[in-house]
Structure 1
Amino acid sequence: MTRTVLVARLDNAGDVLLTGPAVRAVAAHADSVVMLAGPHGRSAAALLPGVDEVVEWRAPWIDPEPDPVTRAHVEHLRQAVEAIEPDVAVVFTSFHQSPLPLALVLRLAGVPWIGAISEDYPGSLLDLRHRVPGDPPEAERALSLARAAGFSPSGGDDGRLAVRRPLPCVADLVGEPDYVVLHPGASVPARQWPPQRCAEAVQALAAAGYRVVVTGARGEQQLTAQVAGEVGIDLGGGTDLAQLAAVLDGARVVVAPNTGPAHLAAAVGTPVVSLFAPVVPAARWAPYRVPTVMLGRQDAPCRDTRARRCPVPGHPCLTGVTADDVVAAVGKLWRS
């Protein structure tokens, strides 16, 4: 058994959650798993089963609002890795990210074996240069790297997303289970359903007899207040990630764009109405292995552009989705 493994995923919470099955596979063969995560993914890393310790570091080549590259910042990471003394490092990335800058720092920190998926020639930076054919779901792409590195899942692991349990009690926030969660925000504006449509959906869901909870991050209170109106329970800024997981766990259905809480809903096993803008492929990024109804034009002109802001006037991929469409999708999943 390998003594200490460093696993890395340096971007957002949803991305970290999608590495969960791969991290559990690593943990099945390691005495200790330390996860290197960025500031936007640290809280998700702490929720992953199999992770013993989380080290936070902001990667200048991955973070959406990176700080300048400085010798001190890179030296901080090198020293942190030296203190961990990993026997192995497995660097998880999205298809458009290079593992090589991190691999270089890990080499300088003395890590003896490093594996990653890399299209670029890695020279001596990687001991395992893994390739992934086709366009599999992101969780399966990461798991294929773990397998290639010699970390097969344990026999009882079903390969789904998961979080540590028990989750905190949130009855004081939402009351009894069996409600609909609508999460209006997204870290990438191009993936967001217009706020007015979200508000209309809350009104329509409440009129159809559903109890509706509106969730959002600390900087989204104005948005969640607008969306919840007088009929929704507004939790904007009122939960940490573990509490949000518990809120989603108590829901019968979650309505969300392609953003972290959609993957968090999948990690607690809750069905998702996915308001999916096709700027990235649904085959790769749709909620993983939970019942899902996908809404949004997947053939829209923005398809596969990876745009952060919609490049098409009117945001046609999502503005065509109506409140009635959401009510119908929620009803379908509620009855399933």
Structure 2
Amino acid sequence: MRPAPLGGRVLVARLDSMGDVLLAGPAVRAVAETAAAVTLLVAPGQRATAELLPGVDAVVEFTAPWVVLDPPPVEPAAVQALVTTLAAGAFDAALVLTSYHQSPLPLALLLRMAGVGWVGAASEDYPGSLLDLRHRPADGLPEPERALQLARAAGFGSAASSAALAVTGPLPDPRPLAGPGPYVVLHPGAAVPARATTAAHARALVDALVAAGHRVVVTGGPGDRALTATAAGGGGRDLGGRLSLRELAGVLAGAEAVVAVNTGPAHLAAAVGTPVVSLFAPVVAATAWAPYGVPVALLGDQDAPCRGTRARTCPVPGHPCLTGIAAADVVAAVTRVAAPAAAVGLEREVPA
């Protein structure tokens, strides 16, 4: 292994979803400890997520057909445009962060074409001359630790570099959005349908939380408006599709607890330090993908037939791994993990 050049311009790539970009944060901070500048390469639509991460100086967007869900055809002009952009960046080194089932080698090839002199990644496939560091991560690591391990193997950061998630502050005051007084957030939707719960189940959770004395704020993306409207019903405050990412971070930071399916906002809640009740469908492993670094109550049948399949739609009628979670169990879990809301507008401390 040829060591990475330290102190120069470094590109870090994480080319999939919001949650994946947030979980790359500890590796990005480790790189930033010794790099002169850090550019984060992300999928289109993830610029706002990248800009939340401490240590990011610039952001480049690219649709990687070998990574994204519902991939478009490979467009030679788009690939050449990326190579041109990367060449103009004059990067001394690059780290390609991937999930265990993804290959870093297509991007490594483009980085070589762009003249990047050192490239590191975790790879099970033989990389030939595409990688200077072919890292073999330990099995079973939470995703933030897996990414940080790669950065350390490349020589970035130190043994003291933290795997805790973090975002840049200050965050917006949540009170104009969430209303006055303590509250619990429910985020029932996800881009992958197999990880989302149903509208009826979400409504039952809101009703139970309200009956237990909680004020409930329901959040979701623009495509979740029907889901959040049903969930909020007459007892919750519906913010579905109404928040920027930084506003969402502020609302999550102000909550006593966040009840969320396995989706990006669950990791955003962890990044702002809020406890999470995780409604976790086992299509991927909770050991790797559960919210990290905060108090977490993991609910859902982790031995369901869909376990480990990475299914995008639930193969079991009725989606029982999530809809079978009793509302009373969610209320009890909120009680276990809830902490006083963070001071409004308080900038979260970035871990060393």
Instruction: Report what 1:12 is aligned to.
Output: 17
The separation in 1 between residues aligned to 2:266 and 2:286, in whole angstroms, is 13
Describe the shift of the 1:177–1:6 C-alpha distance in structure 2 as closer, same or farther (beyond 3 A). Answer: farther
Match of 2:192 among 169, 175, 188: 188
Paired AA for residue 143 in structure 2: E
1:109 aligns with 2:109: no
CA shift, 1:177, in A, is 5.5
Letter in 2 for 1:186: A
Deviations 1:284-307 (A, max 9, x none): 001101101111011111111110
Identity percentage of aligned residues: 62
Q: Which residue of 1 aligns with 2:57?
A: 52
Other-structure match for 2:257: 253
Equivalent positions of 1:192-203 (< 5 A) are: 192-203=196-207
RMSD (Å), alpha carbons: 1.3
| Aligned equivalent of 1:80, options 76, 80, 85 | 85
Structure 2 distance, partners of 1:201, 1:317, is 15
**Mapped partners of 2:339, 2:45: distance in 1:** 35
The one of 87, 93, 102 equivalent to 2:98 is: 93
- In the alignment, does 2:230 pair up with 1:226? yes
Which residue, 325, 328, 333 being the options, matches 1:324? 328
Q: CA deviation at 1:41?
A: 2.7
1:43: which partner in 2?
48
Give, in angstroms, the shift of residue 89 of structure 1: 0.3
Alignment size in residue pairs = 335
Question: 1:130-176, CA deviations, whole angstroms, 9 ceiling, x for partnerless residues?
Answer: 00121110111101100011012484x54200001111223211123
TM-score for the superposition, normalised by structure 2: 0.93
1:306 aligns with 2:293: no
Cα drift, residue 331 of structure 1: 1.3
User: 8 Å contact 1:13–1:43 — kept in the other structure?
Assistant: no
- Residues 85-131 of structure 1, C-alpha deviations (whole Å, 9 max, x = no match): 10000000000110000001110000000000000000000110000
Match of 1:29 in 2: 34
- What is the rounded CA distance, in whole Å, between the counterparts of 1:312 and 1:121 in structure 2? 37
Q: 1:262: which partner in 2?
A: 266
Partner of 1:162: 166
Aligned to 1:212: 216
Number of the residue aligned with 2:350: none
Is 2:8 the partner of 1:3? yes
Alpha carbons 1:197, 1:322 under 8 Å: kept:
no
| Partner Cα distance (2:248, 2:256) in 1 | 14
Alpha-carbon distance between aligned partners in 1 of 2:29 and 2:78, rounded to the nearest angstrom: 29
Aligned to 1:282: 286
1:270 positional shift? 0.4
Equivalence for 1:140: 145
Q: Is the 8 A contact 1:256 1:272 kept in 2?
A: yes
- Secondary structure of 1:247's counterpart equals helix
Unaligned runs of 5+ in 1: none
Tell whether 2:313 aligns with 1:271: no
In 2, Cα distance between the equivalents of 1:125 and 1:176?
Answer: 54
In the alignment, the residues of structure 2 paired with residue 269 and residue 111 of structure 1 have an alpha-carbon distance, to the nearest angstrom, of 36
- Of 221, 244, 248 in structure 2, the residue corresponding to residue 244 of structure 1 is 248
SS at 1:2 equivalent: coil
> Whole-Å Cα distance in 1 between the matches of residues 272 and 103 of structure 2?
30
> Aligned with 2:260: secondary structure?
strand
- 5+ residue gaps, structure 2, are 1-5, 341-352
Q: Does the residue aligned with 1:299 lie in a helix, a strand or coil?
A: coil
Partners of 1:105 and 1:335 lie apart in 2 by 46
Matched, 1:130 2:157: no
